[in-house]
Structure formats: structure tokens, C-alpha cells
């Protein structure tokens, strides 16, 4: 079985065939950095990190582009509200976004372009659209894309142009559905948020930014365009229309991730302080557990966030982590290296990144591994542990990856290990003198503290439940 992906453009699950053998170009619409990110924003980063990791595991050389929108109406509004330069707002939140991605183990893209660094490419694309009759400039200095000039407009999102509401951008455009490519500077806007253009001073519209940056780094045609379902319309619809209108083949596959919702409603920027990785960490949720939570649901599914669900994810993650650490401690670290992913995992990942089924396969193997450890079957346990690590690594969740080390947790683990070891020595001494009541009492006290003791042919082993 080879990789199959759901393509929004055709509404079908398609066999993935790159344009160029062995190479894949991926573009993900990054965030507009007007505020700090929360885990709802970070979901797309995790989803496409899983895709890129799997593409590379499948043998492809991947060029992965994830942009940063660092100039936008919302950023200018935030700057005015806070009495700070717009670029300071953008840079501060870009740093927070990078920290959030890094905390969740999201690998850096090949390129991470900023919109403000590609104004020339945007102007070139707008000029091509005007020359082709798909865009027009007005006396005010605005440039608009003519929706009526593109009969295929609406096919990606499934909307009919005649049913669409007027764009919030009004101005002197010819048709209420037309969208902005270049925005003339308005009174009161900062001078340093303005660039020179053939149509006068101004700045680009949101949609033209991504078309220009995708073309700059991936060429006129590339394989996969990603983003959230919330920006399928109008953003991706507009990207597609203007890119095709300019004569570019653009993206072959459109892959959209579902939203992470709160009480059935899309998370808003105002939640950034309460649902950030750091804020959730202060409530006892590890970054690894958050990544597990975001990875263990299908990328296309809408998910209603709750702390209870995140807590269940943390318990499940710790169950896998405990097995891997237990195997490494009992068999030696080297014994857990070099395993292979099982066929159920591979088939699940090839089936439109079916991570729920892939995660279920990992848990099945971990249970078999614990049984092998209990019975003293070191050979079987080592093979299983290696396989579990290999599969978790594909999800960016190898428990023995130093990225997931927490110095505070490591210190606490050392203390717990020492105390449990003392208790087990006392239990062994009690059993040696045939004081089984005392031995059972020690075991029961450990159980009440959350430490499960199992007697194996190699002696007692313990885990924290």
C-alpha cells in the first residue's frame, strides 16, 4: 500500500503521486502573528509535521515551506491598541510561535519566509494578473482581483460566486465579490507599513502573500498545499484563483486539517494566555502529552478540547513512555534501538495519515512488550521495544528523545527510584525471613502510592500507574 491523501480539490482520497519522482514540495499557510499562539493554532503545525515526517520516512526528499504573515490589518490594529510599532507586535508573537512549535517537537520547515520579505514577488504577480485581465487598479491606488474573470472560482470550497457575500473590503471595486491584491495606504496608518508600488504607496493583501511565497520557494507548480479548514474560504479559494489566473499550475493536492474547538466553537486569539503550552504545563500537562493529544486524533477531524480529554491523553502517553523506559532499564538502551514499524502502523499512516489506528497499533505492541518483560523473554521484549520506539519516533514522540527530558521530572524520578528501591529491599528482606505479611504490607503501601510491583524471573519490577 502506498500513501493516499484526502484531496479537498477533488473531494476524494487519492493515491499520492509527486510531480517529480522522489521529491515533494509542501506549502503550509502559517499564522498571522497578531497575538500569542495557543494549542488550537499549533494543531496545524503538528498535523503537517506528521505528514512531512511520514513523507520523508517513505523515501521522499521534502521541501517544506511554512510562512509567517507579519503584515496584516489585525497586526496594525494591535499595534495601535497597544501603542507599539506593528513590527514589534509581529516579531514578539513570531518568537512565541516558534517557542510553541519547538516545545511540541515540531521540526523546523525547510524555509519559513516572512511576508514582508517578499513584496517584490507579490508586485510581480499582481502585474501579471492585471496584464491577463484578471485584476484592475482603481484611482484610489487599490488593486482588486476580478472574481467574474475566473469561472472556476468557488470550486475548491464548494461555493458558488453568486451566493457569496460581499467582501469586507469595499472601496471602489467593480464587484462586491472582488478581493484585494494591493491596499493603498489609508490615513493614519504607519508610514513604515507602506511599500512603493506601480499603483502608489500601500501594502499587499493577505491572499497574494501566500501565492507569491509558494511560487518563490516551490516554483510555479508543487505537490501539496496545506492549512486549516477555517481558511479554505476565502483564503485558499483566492490563492488558487489568483495563482491560476497568473498562469501557474500551483498545488496538485489540497490537504486541510480540522479545527480544535472549545465548547463547539473555534478557539479565538483571546485564549492564547490560558491554552498556551506554558499555561497547560503549569496545570500539570507535559508538552509530550499535548503533542500526543494532537497527534492521536485524525488530522481532518474537528476536536472539542477539554482538560479531561487532555488528561486521558497524558495517561495514555505515560503508559507508552513507561514501557519504553522500563525496557531500556531492564534490557539496556541499545536493546531498544533499530526496531521496525509493524504493518498495522504503516498501513494506517499510508491511509490518509490515520493516526488513531496507528496509535492503537503502538499500544497493542506495548502491551505485548510488557507481557514479554514480565515473563523474562528478553529477545521478544527487545524487538517489541525497538518497534514501539520506531513508531513513536515517526509521530515525533520517542520517549527516549532528549527533547522530552524535563530536568525537574528527571530529578523527581531519581528520588522516586531511590525510595522505591529501598522499599523493595525491605520487602525482599521480609520475604527472606518468611514474614510474608510484612512483605505484602509493603507491596500494598506502594500500590496505594501508585507504584505497581510485579514479581518476574529476574526479580521484582515496578511501574508508576
Residue 30 has a pLDDT of: 94
How far apart, in Å, do the first and last CA atoms of the chain sit?
37
Report long-range pairs for 283-286 (Cβ below 8 Å, ≥24 apart).
283/307, 285/310, 285/311, 285/314, 286/314, 286/317, 286/404, 286/406, 286/409
pLDDT digits (tens, 9 = 90+) for 270-299: 555 568 899 899 999 999 999 999 999 999
User: Average pLDDT in the 413-435 region?
Assistant: 73
Query: What is the fold of 265-404?
Result: 1.20.120
Measured CA to CA in angstroms, residue 74 lies from 93, 142, 190, 382 at distances of: 13, 19, 13, 53
Rg (CA), the chain: 27
pLDDT tens readout for residues 35-44: 999 999 999 9
Q: Taking the CB of residue 130, how many other CB atoms lie within 10 A of it?
A: 18
How confident is the model at residue 460, as a pLDDT?
78
Residue 1 CA to residue 295 CA, distance in Å, equals 22
- Percent of the chain at pLDDT > 90 equals 77
Instruction: Read off the C-alpha cell for 410.
Output: 528527571
pLDDT at 411: 41
Collapsed DSSP state (helix, strand, coil) of residue 61? strand
- What one-character-per-residue DSSP string does 193-237 give? G-B--TT-SEEE-HHHHHHHHHHHHH-SEEEEEEEEGGGIIIIIH
Note the helical H segments in 395-454: 407-432, 436-448
DSSP helix/strand/coil, 396: coil
pLDDT in tens, 149-196: 999 999 999 987 666 655 555 668 899 999 999 999 999 999 999 999
Beta-carbon contacts of residue 11 (< 8 Å; ≥ 6 apart) = none
Specify the CATH number of the domain 4-257.
3.40.50.620
Strands 202-204 and 179-184: antiparallel
The sign of the dihedral angle between the CA atoms of 285, 288, 291, 295 is negative
| Pairing state between β 221-228 and 250-257 | parallel
Burial of 348 (0-12, 13-18, 19+ CB in 10 A): buried
What secondary structure letter does DSSP report for 272? T
Average pLDDT over residues 78-101: 96
Residue 431's pLDDT is what? 83
Q: Which residue has the cell 493516499?
A: 4
The closest of 252, 228, 299 to 10, measured between CA atoms, is 252
Strand partners, 262: 265, 305
> Average of pLDDT values for 412-439?
74
Q: How far is CA 31 from CA 34, 52, 191, 204, 338, in A?
A: 9, 18, 24, 16, 37
Give the burial string for 383-393 (b: 16+ CB within 10 Å, else e).
bbbbbbbbbbb
Helix, strand, or coil (residue 8): coil
Q: Which helix (H) or strand (E) holds 352?
A: none
25 neighbors 248 (Cβ within 8 angstroms): no
For 225-263, what is each residue's pLDDT tens digit? 999 999 999 999 999 999 999 999 999 999 999 999 886
User: pLDDT (tens digit, 9 = 90+) per residue, 454-465?
Assistant: 776 556 767 665
Q: Is the separation of the CB atoms in 123 and 198 below 8 Å?
A: yes
Split at pLDDT 50, 70, 90, the class of 407 is very low
pLDDT at residue 413 above 50?
Answer: no
Per-residue pLDDT tens digits for 291-343:
999 999 999 999 999 999 999 999 999 999 999 999 999 999 898 998 899 99
Amino acid at each position: 500500500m502506498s500513501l493516499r491523501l484526502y484531496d479537498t480539490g477533488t473531494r476524494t482520497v487519492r493515491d499520492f503521486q509527486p510531480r517529480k519522482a522522489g521529491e515533494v514540495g509542501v506549502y503550509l499557510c502559517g499564522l498571522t502573528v497578531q497575538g500569542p499562539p495557543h494549542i488550537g493554532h499549533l494543531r496545524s503545525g503538528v498535523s503537517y509535521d506528521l505528514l512531512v515526517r511520514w513523507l520523508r520516512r517513505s523515501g521522499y526528499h521534502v521541501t517544506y515551506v511554512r510562512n509567517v504573515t507579519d503584515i496584516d490589518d489585525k497586526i496594525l490594529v494591535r499595534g495601535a491598541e497597544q501603542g507599539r510599532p506593528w513590527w514589534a507586535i509581529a516579531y514578539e508573537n513570531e518568537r512565541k510561535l516558534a517557542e510553541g512549535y519547538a516545545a511540541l517537537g515540531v521540526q523546523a520547515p525547510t524555509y519559513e519566509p516572512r511576508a514582508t520579505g517578499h513584496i517584490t514577488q507579490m508586485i510581480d504577480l499582481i502585474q501579471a494578473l492585471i496584464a491577463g485581465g484578471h485584476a484592475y487598479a482603481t484611482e484610489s491606488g487599490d488593486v482588486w482581483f476580478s472574481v467574474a474573470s475566473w469561472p472556476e472560482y468557488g470550486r475548491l470550497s464548494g461555493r458558488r460566486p453568486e451566493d457569496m457575500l460581499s467582501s469586507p473590503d469595499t472601496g471602489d471595486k467593480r464587484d462586491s465579490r472582488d478581493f484585494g491584491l494591493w491596499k493603498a495606504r489609508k490615513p493614519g496608518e504607519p508610514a513604515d507599513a507602506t511599500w512603493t508600488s506601480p499603483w502608489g504607496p500601500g501594502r499587499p493583501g493577505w491572499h497574494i502573500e501566500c501565492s507569491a511565497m509558494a511560487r518563490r520557494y516551490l516554483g510555479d507548480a508543487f505537490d501539496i498545499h496545506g492549512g486549516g479548514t477555517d481558511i479554505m474560504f476565502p483564503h485558499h479559494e483566492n490563492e488558487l484563483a489568483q495563482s491560476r489566473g497568473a498562469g501557474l499550475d500551483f498545488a496538485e493536492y489540497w490537504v486541510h486539517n480540522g479545527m480544535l474547538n472549545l465548547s463547539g466553537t473555534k478557539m479565538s486569539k483571546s485564549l492564547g494566555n490560558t491554552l498556551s503550552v506554558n499555561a497547560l504545563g503549569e496545570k500539570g500537562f507535559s508538552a509530550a502529552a499535548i503533542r500526543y493529544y494532537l497527534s492521536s486524533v485524525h488530522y481532518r477531524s474537528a476536536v472539542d478540547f477539554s482538560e479531561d480529554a487532555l488528561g486521558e491523553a497524558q495517561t495514555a502517553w505515560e503508559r507508552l513512555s513507561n514501557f519504553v523506559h522500563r525496557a531500556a532499564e531492564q534490557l539496556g538502551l541499545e536493546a531498544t534501538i533499530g526496531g521496525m514499524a509493524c504493518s498495522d502502523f504503516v498501513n494506517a499512516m499510508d491511509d490518509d495519515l490515520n493516526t488513531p489506528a496507528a496509535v492503537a497499533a503502538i499500544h497493542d505492541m506495548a502491551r505485548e512488550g510488557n507481557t514479554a518483560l514480565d515473563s523474562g523473554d528478553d529477545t521478544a521484549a527487545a524487538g517489541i521495544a525497538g518497534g514501539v520506539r520506531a513508531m513513536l519516533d515517526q509521530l515525533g514522540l520517542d520517549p527516549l528523545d532528549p527533547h522530552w527530558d524535563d530536568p525537574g521530572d528527571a530529578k523527581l524520578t531519581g528520588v522516586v527510584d531511590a525510595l522505591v528501591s529501598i522499599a523493595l529491599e525491605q520487602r525482599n528482606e521480609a520475604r527472606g525471613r518468611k514474614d510474608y505479611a510484612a512483605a505484602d504490607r509493603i507491596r500494598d503501601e506502594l500500590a496505594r502510592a501508585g507504584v505497581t510491583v510485579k514479581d518476574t524471573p529476574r526479580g521484582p519490577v515496578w511501574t508508576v500507574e
